[in-house]
């Protein structure tokens, strides 16, 4: 760091040089921070749609990286660099993901990345619908119908047995004699 002039030895002459430049360094930092705050108003809360191929379980055939997010934001007019997008880990499944964007060490915003297999699916996810859960429910419904006995469950059929019992004639008392084989001999 010393040969590249990124650091100075801690001695009296270097302290005086640093104190002389301190006001300029702080002014530059304040200017970069105000620029970052202005840029933050255009980026904060934005939602970016990314259409990717994925399996039926929602796993992407690849991943969404910081570069993909920067390109999508670039298309919407926000100028960012890859290093400003903070991804803890690559996005490897469909859904809506919160991503932090650090525009300055003191200015950070959050954007939403909507990763889907189709634009229609992205719209459903934006509305808060869990597309994978919905897909599994649709697949499970026909299977459940096949396993269930075919008894129509309507209000009329539930009332019909009770009415049939009320309308049925009461059994009369008749005595029938049955002869057994021993009685006949």
Architecture, CATH, for domain 42-141: Roll (3.10)
**Strand (E) or helix (H) holding 43:** helix 12-43
The answer on pLDDT for 175 being more than 90 is no
Q: What's the pLDDT tens digit per position in 6-51?
A: 787 889 988 888 888 888 999 999 999 999 998 888 888 899 999 9
Is pTM beyond 0.75? Reply is no
> Averaged over 73-82, what is the pLDDT?
88
Question: 118, 48, 38, 96: which is closest to 76 by C-alpha?
Answer: 48
Q: What's the pLDDT tens digit per position in 48-64?
A: 999 999 998 899 999 99
- The most confident of 75-79, 107-111, 165-169, 181-185, by mean pLDDT: 107-111
- Across the chain, mean pLDDT equals 81
- Measured CA to CA, the distance from residue 19 to residue 27 in angstroms comes to 13
Question: 118, 77, 110, 75: which is closest to 94 by C-alpha?
Answer: 118
CB 61 within 8 A of CB 53: yes
- What are the sequence ranges of the domains in the chain? 42-141
């Amino acid at each position: 760091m010393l040969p590249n002039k990124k650091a100075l030895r801690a001695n009296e002459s270097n302290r005086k040089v640093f104190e002389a430049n301190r006001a300029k360094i702080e002014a530059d930092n304040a200017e970069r921070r105000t620029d970052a705050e202005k840029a933050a108003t255009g980026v904060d809360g934005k939602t970016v749609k990314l259409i990717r191929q994925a399996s039926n379980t929602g796993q992407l055939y690849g991943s969404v990286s910081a570069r993909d997010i920067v390109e999508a934001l670039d298309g919407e007019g926000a100028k960012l660099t890859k290093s400003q997008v903070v991804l803890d880990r690559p996005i490897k499944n469909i859904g809506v993901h919160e991503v932090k964007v650090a525009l300055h060490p003191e200015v950070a915003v959050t954007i939403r990345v909507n990763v889907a297999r189709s634009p229609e699916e992205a719209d459903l996810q934006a509305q808060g619908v869990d597309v994978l859960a919905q897909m599994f429910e649709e697949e499970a419904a026909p299977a459940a119908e096949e396993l269930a006995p075919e008894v129509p469950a309507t209000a009329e059929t539930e009332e019909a047995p009770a009415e049939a019992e009320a309308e049925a004639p009461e059994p009369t008392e008749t005595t029938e004699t049955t002869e057994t084989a021993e009685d006949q001999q």
